[in-house]
Amino acid sequence: MRILDVNTAFGFYPYRKLDTSLETLKGILGNYNARAFSLSLKGVFYDAREGNEETLNLIGRDNIYPVATYDPRAYPRDIEYLEDLISRGFLAIAFFPRMQGWTVDFAPFRMVLDIIEAESFPVVIHTGGYGEITKISILAEEIENPVIISGTGYSNLSEAIAVVQEVDNIYIETHLLNSPDALEFCRRYIGIERFVFGSGAPVLSFETAYNVVEKSSLSDDDKEMIFYKNLEDLVGVRL
Amino acid sequence: MIIDIHCHYGLWSFAIDSFEAEKVKEYMDRFDVKRAVFSSAKGIVYDFREGNRDLMNFLEEDDRFLGYVVLNPNYLEESIEEVERYKENNKIVGIKLHPSYSRVPISDEKTFKIVEYFSNTKLIYLIHTWGVSMSTQLARLAEKFPDVRFIMAHTGGDTWSGCLDVVRPYPNIYVEPCSSYADRDKLRVSIDTVGINRVLFGSDFTLINPAFVIGMVEGGGLTVEEKQTVYYKNAIKLLGGDIDA
């Protein structure tokens, strides 16, 4: 089964001693012959511009594709960097409100979305907690980019289902779909077309994310859609 | 083969379907779970006695089902009566405490009184443990009752690395890794910190998909022997050894 993972990262991990190097990520992906979107953790934990440059410099285009990031806490510093991300090779942009401690109704984030709306690529938002997905849905209605929500688990699955039912450009990344039958449950209410595979590797277990889809009772066609087809459709190319 | 020492029976307050006995059995077959130890979700989040009654009926549905009696230390006398009511049931292996839902800290004297009251039994305690503070409270409890066996559910949650250091000196504290976040290194660090003989398989099924912890075991850099020990060997020793491998 082909796999395209929308949620990986590499670099230094400060929260505990853990090898999250690009080499380790490549090794994990290699075990499954998977391809991935990825970005440097430097851009998440420290400085987006430095991180984005590192992402572009270190990632080859064979199996790993670069994702940009921006930290709205630094707005408007380096905001001009966001104006031509696609031409520099980025396939998506990711934001980390949960890790960085801001909420998605943060005014600088709205300014950032206004700028990147000119780029048609997916916007990935790593979030959590009640109400955040609802706030994302309000923002998503104002832009045309596909908005991929990462951080949907058993506690906020109802919220994810509700916003997918209401807003056409919202998609759900799978790594935290932790309740049994989560995919089967969602399929019944909103279908499988709006799910894209993500693992959180190498911080989180790729095997876990893979098992959640592979060990589900979905059909092989549904699994293919989640593992790579839906994301390929979003970025508009066959990777 | 897996022995899952952290499972639940009953509906949750989330967007999750109800898992009745037939569906539970299907899941156990899917993941090769030979024994699973359940506590009542209703008992944890609402009425422990009503939940325990539901659980006892459920446990009769399959030989592979075992159970914990859920207690709420806010109701101390009733909790003791509840254990007296069910402790001779050969399906019951222990007691489940959830200090977050009951809002009774592990360090509360009511928790200590319950453990003291049943300290001459072989009942095992599965205690929801989240954070270094709760882990420290569990360590004090285990220190006070060195012959009682405690399972630290979730290995302390998202600060599990520090929590492992807290409980390392207490051989009567076992750890199990389930959590919403499937940290890649959690099993490896757990084994290296407290020793292979104190790490159990627990999934939090029916709240959490067993695929989560299985993925953590399979991708955690464990040897085949270590995987077997975590999947079932330690649980066989803990539960009494009457299970075919």
Distance of CA B84 to the CA centre of its chain: 20
**Identity of the residue numbered B237:** K
Question: Is the pLDDT score of A169 beyond 60?
Answer: yes
**Identity of the residue numbered A231:** L
Phi, psi of A224 (to 5 degrees): -60, -40
Q: Which residues in B lie closer than 8 A to residue A205 (C-beta atoms)?
A: 182-184, 215-216, 219-220
Q: Which residues in A lie closer than 8 A to residue B219 (C-beta atoms)?
A: 28, 205-208
* Cα gap B216→A205, rounded to integer Å: 6
Nearest CA in chain A to B7: A180
Q: Tell me whether B211 touches chain A (CB under 8 Å).
A: yes
* Cα gap B136→A160, rounded to integer Å: 36
Domain boundaries, chain B: 2-239
Strands (DSSP E) found in B52-143: 65-70, 92-97, 124-130
Both tokens of A100, joined, read 């960085």
Q: Which residues in B lie closer than 8 A to residue A128 (C-beta atoms)?
A: none
* Cα gap A77→B228, rounded to integer Å: 53
Residue A83's pLDDT band (cuts 50, 70, 90): confident
Q: Tell me whether B9 touches chain A (CB under 8 Å).
A: no
Q: What is the mean pLDDT of chain B?
A: 97
The per-residue pLDDT for range B17-33, each reduced to its tens digit, is: 989 999 999 999 999 99
CA distance B58 to chain A (A): 19
Q: What is the pLDDT, as a whole number, of residue B244?
A: 63
Question: Is the pLDDT score of A60 beyond 80?
Answer: no
- The verdict on a CB contact (< 8 Å) between B180 and A212 is no
Phi, psi of A220 (to 5 degrees): -60, -35
Cβ pairs bridging A and B (under 8 Å): 98
Nearest CA in chain B to A207: B215
Q: What is the mean pLDDT of chain A?
A: 95
Q: Which residues in B lie closer than 8 A to residue A179 (C-beta atoms)?
A: 14-16, 207-209
Q: Which residues in B lie closer than 8 A to residue A176 (C-beta atoms)?
A: 180-181
- Give me the interface pTM, i.e. the ipTM: 0.92
Q: What share of chain B has pLDDT > 90, as a percent?
A: 97
The per-residue pLDDT for range B109-136, each reduced to its tens digit, is: 999 999 999 999 999 999 999 999 999 9
Q: In what order do the strands lie in the sheet with A147-150?
A: A4-10, A35-40, A64-69, A92-95, A123-126, A147-150, A170-173, A195-196
Q: What is the pLDDT, as a whole number, of residue B39?
A: 98
Of B90, B8, B102, nearest to B54 by C-alpha is B8
Q: What is the pLDDT, as a whole number, of residue B227?
A: 98
Q: What is the pLDDT, as a whole number, of residue A119?
A: 85
Partner residue opposite B16 with nearest CB, options A179, A203, A210: A179
Partner residue opposite B209 with nearest CB, options A157, A180, A210: A180
Is it true that the peptide bond before B99 is cis, omega within 30 degrees of 0? no
Question: Is the pLDDT score of B14 beyond 60?
Answer: yes
Q: Are B181 and A204 in contact (CB under 8 A)?
A: yes
Q: Are B55 and B93 in contact (CB under 8 A)?
A: no
Give the position of tokens 């302390």: B156
- What average pLDDT score do residues A125-154 get? 96
- The verdict on a CB contact (< 8 Å) between B19 and A180 is yes
Q: What is the pLDDT, as a whole number, of residue B218?
A: 97
Q: Tell me whether B15 touches chain A (CB under 8 Å).
A: yes
Nearest CA in chain A to B162: A16
Is it true that the peptide bond before A76 is cis, omega within 30 degrees of 0? yes
Question: Is the pLDDT score of A62 beyond 90?
Answer: no
CA distance B74 to chain A (A): 26
Q: Are A55 and A40 in contact (CB under 8 A)?
A: yes
Q: Tell me whether A24 touches chain B (CB under 8 Å).
A: no
Q: Which residues in B lie closer than 8 A to residue A199 (C-beta atoms)?
A: none
Q: What is the pLDDT, as a whole number, of residue A170?
A: 98
Residue B243's pLDDT band (cuts 50, 70, 90): low
Q: Which residues in A lie closer than 8 A to residue B213 (C-beta atoms)?
A: 208
Distance of CA A42 to the CA centre of its chain: 16
Residue A236's pLDDT band (cuts 50, 70, 90): confident
Q: Tell me whether A197 touches chain B (CB under 8 Å).
A: no
- What average pLDDT score do residues B82-96 get? 97
Residue A118's pLDDT band (cuts 50, 70, 90): confident
Q: What is the pLDDT, as a whole number, of residue A234?
A: 92
Question: Is the pLDDT score of A112 beyond 90?
Answer: yes
Q: Which residues in B lie closer than 8 A to residue A155 (C-beta atoms)?
A: 14
Q: What is the pLDDT, as a whole number, of residue A239?
A: 67
Of A137, A68, A128, nearest to A102 by C-alpha is A128
Architecture label for domain B2-239: Alpha-Beta Barrel (3.20)
Q: What is the pLDDT, as a whole number, of residue B181?
A: 93
* Cα gap B7→B234, rounded to integer Å: 17
Residue B242's pLDDT band (cuts 50, 70, 90): low
- What average pLDDT score do residues B61-89 get? 98
3-state secondary structure (DSSP) of residue A9 = strand
Distance of CA A162 to the CA centre of its chain: 19
- The verdict on a CB contact (< 8 Å) between B214 and A211 is yes
Q: What one-character DSSP code corresponds to residue B46?
A: S
Q: Are B232 and B245 in contact (CB under 8 A)?
A: yes
**A-contacting residues in B 16-75 (Cβ below 8 Å):** 16-17, 19, 27, 30-31
Q: What one-character DSSP code corresponds to residue B75?
A: S
- What average pLDDT score do residues B189-203 get? 98
Question: Is the pLDDT score of B245 beyond 60?
Answer: no
**Identity of the residue numbered A80:** E
